[in-house]
Amino acid sequence: MLKLYTSLGLMSGTSGDGVDASIIQSNGIDQFEVIKNKFYEYDSNIYNKIHNLKEKISNISDLNKLSIELKDLERQITLYHAKIIKDLDLKDEKFIVGFHGQTIYHNSRDKISMQLGDGKLLHQLTNKKIVFNFRKNDILNGGEGAPLTPIFHQLVVSQKKIVLPVCVLNIGGISNYTIVNKQIGSAGIYSKDIGPGNCLIDSWIRKNSSTKFDQDGRLAATGNINEIILEQAQELYMNRIEKTKLSFDTNDFDISFSRGLSLEDGAATLTEFTASIIGETLSILLKKNNLIKDILICGGGRKNKILINKLIKNLPSKINIKLIDEFEIDGDFIESQAFAFLAIRRCIKLPITFPNTTNCSKPSIGGEIIDN
């Protein structure tokens, strides 16, 4: 029997609202058990700094200009993660910590992916083995640095004995999918970012109201879709999007086409736009993979009932849409569990990305280890 490791995964997603923390036990290959999941919300200071800085960054030059502010925010984020580790009271000295950090800029074309999070400082503060900087090696091997969770999606689907092939759809800030088929190992997975998930809707709500997101899609439900703006945005998007691109950043998309709409109409139009992009992409995918009958949805977007209902209308009627929670899996913590798992794989020198998940030239081990 392979050795089991205990690992804490810490994930702060593109919404920038806080940190998902998950403790798991796993052998890094074909077994895992969830011990604990907990969400830690950022204070308004960190939350606002994340979004204010992200909006100012569109290229490498911006990263250089804002280096002092970014370093200051990185320290704050790292200190916050240290408090989480202290709160979780991890007494086992052999605990592994998978520390993703906060993505502030991701540009797959220029092979740059920057996460704010100081692994060395976190180790000094906690005296734990820290695995961080997960994307660097994949990029060095010609990959796009994302998505990283497919190998974990495969494990979850296998452990729950879900009928294959299946499509796992993650709707976070960015939407992406993983196809898991009957082949064993990395040959059994294929993944790709789709485009916007929650990012456009969240950005619209943040800029036009005092709230962070459209809870349950309530604002979109009361608004009217502006069909002219919607059609123009869809046409522009499909013409400009890089078809070969596997990964995106939230900065690849903007809400400028909704300017002038009311809060509710903007939410309705952006929700319809997002659902149509995800639906069209998946419909094309499902035509090529006609054996897939089920789509399992995880990520925060699955809670937006209006978005999910609109997505269903944009997909072939024969496809079954299911929330991953129906299989006794908490859809809020898939990614934090994944980084706990990926940290274990790094410690036992197993790859986390593959040519068919990130376009890297070879299976790639990912993450830097900071230990005594």
| pLDDT per residue as tens digits for the range 323-357 | 999 999 999 999 999 999 999 999 999 999 999 99
Residues 197 and 233 occupy one common structural domain: yes
* Per-residue pLDDT tens digits for 98-110: 999 999 999 988 8
- pLDDT score recorded for residue 173: 93
Q: Token pair for residue 249?
A: 């950043």
Q: What is the mean pLDDT of the chain?
A: 94
Residues 322 and 338 occupy one common structural domain: no
244 pLDDT higher than 60: no
| Cβ partners under 8 Å of residue 3, min gap 6 | 27
- pLDDT score recorded for residue 246: 61
Residues 169 and 293 occupy one common structural domain: yes
8-state DSSP, 42 = P
CB 152 within 8 A of CB 346: no
* Per-residue pLDDT tens digits for 144-181: 999 999 999 999 999 999 999 999 999 999 999 999 99
Query: Cis ω on the peptide bond leading into residue 351 (within 30° of 0)?
Result: no
Over pLDDT 70: what percentage of the chain? 98
290 pLDDT higher than 80: yes
240 pLDDT higher than 70: no
- Name the domain count of the chain: 2
116 pLDDT higher than 90: yes
- pLDDT score recorded for residue 248: 85
- pLDDT score recorded for residue 148: 97
- pLDDT score recorded for residue 331: 96
* Per-residue pLDDT tens digits for 39-61: 999 999 999 999 999 999 999 99
- Last-in-domain residue among 294, 310, 327: 327
Residues 303 and 364 occupy one common structural domain: no
199 pLDDT higher than 80: yes
Residues 206 and 168 occupy one common structural domain: yes
Residues 285 and 268 occupy one common structural domain: yes
Which of 255-259, 267-271, 299-303, 311-315 shows the lowest mean pLDDT across its residues? 255-259
- pLDDT score recorded for residue 243: 55
Residues 211 and 116 occupy one common structural domain: no
CB 252 within 8 A of CB 277: no
Q: Which H or E run includes 265?
A: helix 263-288
Q: Cα–Cα distance between 174 and 197 in angstroms, integer?
A: 4
Q: Cα–Cα distance between 141 and 362 in angstroms, integer?
A: 7
280 pLDDT higher than 60: yes
Over pLDDT 90: what percentage of the chain? 88
Residue 209: Cβ within 10 Å count: 13
318 pLDDT higher than 70: yes
- Quick check: is 153 in a domain? no
- Quick check: is 264 in a domain? yes
Residues 166 and 292 occupy one common structural domain: yes
* Per-residue pLDDT tens digits for 216-225: 999 999 999 9
Which domain does 199 fall in, by range? 161-327
End-to-end CA distance of the chain: 28
Residues 238 and 300 occupy one common structural domain: yes
Distances (CA, A) of 204 to 72, 149, 279: 27, 27, 21
- Quick check: is 150 in a domain? no
14 pLDDT higher than 90: no
- Quick check: is 276 in a domain? yes
Give the pLDDT band of residue 245 (cuts 50, 70, 90): low
- Quick check: is 151 in a domain? no
- pLDDT score recorded for residue 289: 87
CATH number of the domain where residue 117 is located: 3.30.420.40
Residues 173 and 314 occupy one common structural domain: yes
Indicate the angle between helix axes 67-88 and 44-56, nearest 10 degrees.
140
- Quick check: is 154 in a domain? no
CB 115 within 8 A of CB 100: yes
- Quick check: is 98 in a domain? yes
Query: What sign for the dihedral angle of Cα 159, 163, 164, 166?
Result: negative
Q: Token pair for residue 188?
A: 């059994």
Residues 174 and 309 occupy one common structural domain: yes
CB 308 within 8 A of CB 320: no
Residues 196 and 312 occupy one common structural domain: yes
Which among 299, 352, 332, 330 has a CA at the least distance from the CA of 131?
352
8-state DSSP, 75 = H
Which of 84-93, 108-117, 325-334 shows the lowest mean pLDDT across its residues? 84-93
- Quick check: is 256 in a domain? yes
